[in-house]
A and B are shown apart, each in its own frame.
Chain A
Amino acid sequence: MSRTGHLIRRLLATMVTIYVVVTLNFLLFRVLPGDAVSNLSRVPGGSPELSAALRRQFGLDQPLWEQYWIYLGRLLHGDLGVSFTTQEPVGDRLMVAFGNTLPLVAAGLVLALLLGLVTGTLAAWFRGGWVDRLSTSTAIAFYSVPTHFLGLLLILLLGNQLPTQGMHDEFLIDPTWAARTADLVRHMVLPVVTIALIVFGQYTLVVRSSMLETLGDDHVLTARALGAGPVRTLTKHVLPNAMLPITTLVALSLGGLIGGSILVETVFSWPGAGRAMYESVVQRDYPMLQGVFLVLTISVVTLNLLADLLSVRLDPRVAQ
């Protein structure tokens, strides 16, 4: 199959996936036990009239299929609706939440990638030795630790050195841009390190495995026979060829990380997408839930697509 054909096929598959997930998102939250109106009308003095008024306001008094068409229609116009609980446009809240999550996840991912590359490369180069054993067992150990447990452990160990809550010190007086940025970085350290430690293990293992495979290739053996040193061999002949599975893994794990930030954001009270998702589930805030999951879905599907296209770019044999 040609590259163009592959691209068209993947784009079509992506669109169908997004449509199916959009529909599932709509249905899934409505079959959950618990109900947004029950939550909101359960106030002192709450009455059946209040419940009815809220149902009307949220459009929940309409038949399900009609709610579905309204939802799809709004979605096509880029309208994600209004949050049941805060009465703010979902789009605005999502912008803030994802805007807070992305730097956290991106920094965590970069750090994890660096750690994974270094430890994976060392493990592969010194395969079978103590460096290999130390690298792989450390990677597996961190990969197995529950995220919230590691977060709390870091709070206990480093909480007297670094902030453990939120994005900023809210009591700063009119800070300069530099002071505000420095404060943000300080607040990011513990959650970013938590993400990086949890994630880097899988990179270590994939890098090690991929490197081992490449290290045995003829062209690497030839390079070494021609006198290439370890650094040149690794950087020029091994790493570029070993990057294919790593690239795919990074793209795939980024989408998962955004969705999986819920535990890190809960432990560190980080006001991001994960926390917004948690609050929305608890409060049965359907528009917010649909919005969060829609963005997550599109992120994952798009990143999958990108990974796929990148693979084709890096290795045209994939498209065959």
Chain B
Amino acid sequence: MPQGINLLSAGKQPIYCGSHLGTEKEGETVKPRTTLTALALVGLLTAGCGGSSGASSQNKGNSGSVLRVGTTFTCNSINPFASTGTTCAMIFRYNYPFLVQYTGSGAFEGDLATKWTTSGDKLNWTFDLRPGAKWSDGKPLTAADVAFTINTIVKFREGATASEASSVKNVKSATAPTANQVVVTYQKPTANVLGRLLKMPVLPAHVWEKYATGDGMQLKQTPNPAPLVAGGPYRLGKYTKDQIALMEANPNWYGEKPKLSGFGLQFFTSPDAMVNALKNNQIDYAAPLPITAAKPVEQAGFTVSRQPGFRFHDLIINQSPHQKAHPELRNAGVREAFELAVDRKKIIDVAYLGYATPGSSIVPPVTGDWYNPAVKPITFDPAKAAKLLDEAGYRPGPDGIRVAGGKPMSYEVIIPDVEGGEGERALQIVTEDFKKIGVQLKPKPADNATAFDQLTGPGKKYEQFTLSQWGWIAQRDPDFLLNGMTCAQWGSWNDTGYCDEEYDKLYDQQAAAVDDKARQAIVWQMQKMIYDARPYIVTHYDDVVEGHSTRWTGFGQSPLGILDSQSRQGLLSATTTGS
């Protein structure tokens, strides 16, 4: 077998193996070590791992086993109000209950809520909850917890709970008329109520209410140490920053028992080391797999999955009126010429080794009905691009670089490190093609914080930068990305200096459109506006590429891969193959 030495047969120490964790009693906290011992004992007895020298979760073919996931995406904090990044959100997705979840097809299904109704004026949403639900510490999980979470986020949404505030947009308050029913009252009709609430973890009031006092900053400051009190299918039993997040089955979960008895996320800083660990049976799953490793990993006998993803990359053209050095960038013809000079196919084939699809809209096709199919990438045509620039009066100077307003069309392109090696190669391709039309690009690498600082500049006016190459990871609902182009997001999510009142009005309209069809029409219109204005030239959508041992199967498909922060489809059906 090409995976290398089997560490178990080579005398490796016993590996975490078992079914679910020991349960907790009310008021008691089980220490991780004790928990692991309990897990080990239960695992040995029930999962057939047998033998004091242990066995691994991955080679016994039982369903009660632990999946070892390696990832290069770290998690900075396990406090939902202090964390950033999708990996933390994925941990919360499995640890905490949510009112609703996404199904594999992107539809909504009940989670803690079993059904929901809305009033005629769309201001009151009533959710019926599962009766008899319990937290992992045995305390009742009721509507009071849901109401507490919503009201706390609402109360401190301008400060400590801002990171969760978008999930309760326009919410006035929440009440719990009974233990199994919660009513959420909105200030005005709001679009995508379920999609917003779907992002909000329901927190145990008995743990968090002591922090929800004063200015609420304690909510953000508490480290919320593991083991967490859980209401989801798994409980975060152990967390060591930059090393491991270990999820154990929550015996009190109200849903169908998951097939895995647990999973661990091991955080790698080097993708190459992660690939090596996969090949050598030190982990079972690598997410994401570097695209350069996809073929070798597949040839080594592993399963490599590939599917269209939410992430896209774009060339940003500064649209701020405060940017004075190169006013030609506000000329629509120039931006169209730039797009004509972007060879998407070459970028995908050479830089991304084919693991991407051409991009056009800021709402990716994987969002389904929200994607406007009329927004299509234009064909690479450098001759036409040159012609457009000629027509605009920007003729080449003696050095071959065009001159606009007395200045050479030479631009620094800020590229943050998150774009990685593929992004750098993509920019090299664009730079070479732009040279052919008489436009000089000079890549300017920076770390993410520096890059964003350089984009917004002093006073958040976007005065200085000209071009940048960056990207986004979209969500299933388009609101987040559409919001990023509004004037209100200057200095925050807006990275283009684009500001259009008409666009902002449309944004508000879609945010209030409770009818999906009506909202879709507005969302499509907004995508077309952005495409025509070209603050972004969306170059391509990344595929999600992941690899795993053939001893595992049943992973759900998701545009966010196994680390999906919005759905539990990725892991709930996963199991060993028995091989």
* B residues 204-237 touching A (CB-CB < 8 Å): 215, 217, 220-223
B276 and A164 within 8 A (CB): yes
* B257-288 to A contact mask, C-beta < 8 Å, 1/0: 00000001011111011101101101000000
Question: With a CB–CB cut-off of 8 A, which chain A residues contact B500?
Answer: none
State in angstroms the CA–CA spacing of A264 and B480 once bound together.
38
Question: With a CB–CB cut-off of 8 A, which chain B residues contact A320?
Answer: none
B450 and A32 within 8 A (CB): yes
* B19-47 to A contact mask, C-beta < 8 Å, 1/0: 00000000000000100110110010000
Question: With a CB–CB cut-off of 8 A, which chain A residues contact B242?
Answer: 269, 271, 275, 279
B76 and A33 within 8 A (CB): no
Instruction: Write the nearest CB–CB distance from B220 to chain A, whole angstroms.
Output: 7
* Chain B: CB-nearest residue to A162: B280
Q: Tally chain A residues at the interface, Cβ within 8 Å.
A: 55
A173 and B16 within 8 A (CB): yes
State in angstroms the CA–CA spacing of A49 and B54 once bound together.
53
* A65-81 to B contact mask, C-beta < 8 Å, 1/0: 00000000000000000
- CB-defined A-B contacts under 8 Å, sample of 12: A35-B453, A45-B164, A50-B158, A85-B77, A86-B82, A87-B220, A160-B276, A166-B243, A169-B282, A173-B14, A267-B273, A284-B449
Instruction: Write the nearest CB–CB distance from A269 to chain B, whole angstroms.
Output: 5
Question: With a CB–CB cut-off of 8 A, which chain B residues contact A49?
Answer: 158-159, 162
Q: Which of B13, B16, B483 has the most CB of A within 10 A?
A: B13
B449 and A170 within 8 A (CB): no
Question: With a CB–CB cut-off of 8 A, which chain A residues contact B76?
Answer: 85-86, 283
The answer to the question of A155 belonging to the interface, with a C-beta cut-off of 8 Å to chain B, is yes
State in angstroms the CA–CA spacing of A51 and B130 once bound together.
38
Indicate whether A160 sits within 8 Å of B4 (C-beta atoms), given known contacts A165-B277, A173-B15.
yes
State in angstroms the CA–CA spacing of A152 and B494 once bound together.
38
Question: With a CB–CB cut-off of 8 A, which chain A residues contact B292?
Answer: none
B36 and A173 within 8 A (CB): yes
A171 and B5 within 8 A (CB): no
Q: Tally chain B residues at the interface, Cβ within 8 Å.
A: 75
- List chain A positions with a Cβ less than 8 A from chain B: 32-35, 38-47, 49-50, 53, 57, 85-88, 152, 155-156, 159-161, 163-167, 169-175, 179, 182-183, 265-269, 271, 275, 279, 281-284
* Chain B: CB-nearest residue to A172: B13
State in angstroms the CA–CA spacing of A179 and B223 once bound together.
30
Question: With a CB–CB cut-off of 8 A, which chain A residues contact B68?
Answer: 171
A47 and B158 within 8 A (CB): yes
Indicate whether A44 sits within 8 Å of B163 (C-beta atoms), given known contacts A49-B158, A271-B240.
yes
* B residues 144-164 touching A (CB-CB < 8 Å): 157-160, 162-164
* Chain B: CB-nearest residue to A282: B447
Instruction: Write the nearest CB–CB distance from B566 to chain A, whole angstroms.
Output: 13
Instruction: Write the nearest CB–CB distance from A175 to chain B, whole angstroms.
Output: 6
Instruction: Write the nearest CB–CB distance from B361 to chain A, whole angstroms.
Output: 20
Question: With a CB–CB cut-off of 8 A, which chain B residues contact A163?
Answer: 277, 282
Question: With a CB–CB cut-off of 8 A, which chain A residues contact B5?
Answer: 160-161
Complex A-B, nearest 6 residue pairs according to Cβ-Cβ distance, in ascending order: A34-B449, A45-B165, A160-B4, A171-B16, A49-B158, A43-B163
A86 and B77 within 8 A (CB): yes
The answer to the question of B523 belonging to the interface, with a C-beta cut-off of 8 Å to chain A, is no
* B residues 467-525 touching A (CB-CB < 8 Å): 480, 483, 492-493
Instruction: Write the nearest CB–CB distance from B163 to chain A, whole angstroms.
Output: 4
| Partner among B221, B269, B453 whose Cβ is within 8 Å of the Cβ of A269 | B269
A170 and B454 within 8 A (CB): no
